[in-house]
Amino acid sequence: MISEWDVIWLVWAVGTAYRAPRTLKRWSLITTCDPLELCDGCRDERKSVMREAHDWDHFGPVGVPLLVLLEAMGWYIRPFSPAFRKAVGKDPLPTCSKGACLAHTRRKAAA
């Protein structure tokens, strides 16, 4: 018999499995691009990703996959992040301006 917790666990696991490759692709885009060609939101995200990756270096080759997995595990919290930040009095995080941002247009990074 499947309990309600099994269903919740399954939904969470599927969401994490779906989100992990997308997170890795997004981080790959913003870390391989020239920071000058990124918008403010993507530049801030790039800085944060690079800082976190540096913090996880002591795990060796497993550090980055663990970091991606941890980011993907919080997929259900992401929509509530602006409300949480507002509740504690922090400014909202900058978002991608989309227009000419290299990370949004998904063009190849400059070599």
What does the alpha-carbon distance between residue 6 and residue 109 come to, in Å, rounded to a whole number?
A: 42
The answer to whether the CB of 53 falls within 8 A of the CB of 45 is: no
The predicted-structure confidence for 14-40, as pLDDT tens digits, reads as follows 999 999 998 888 888 888 888 888 888
Examine residue 111 and state whether it is found in any structural domain, yes or no: no
Could you tell me the residue range of the domain that residue 68 belongs to? 4-105
Query: How many structural domains compose the chain?
Result: 1
Helix (H) or strand (E) holding 40: helix 40-55
Examine residue 36 and state whether it is found in any structural domain, yes or no: yes
The predicted-structure confidence for 46-70, as pLDDT tens digits, reads as follows 898 889 888 888 888 888 888 888 8
Examine residue 65 and state whether it is found in any structural domain, yes or no: yes
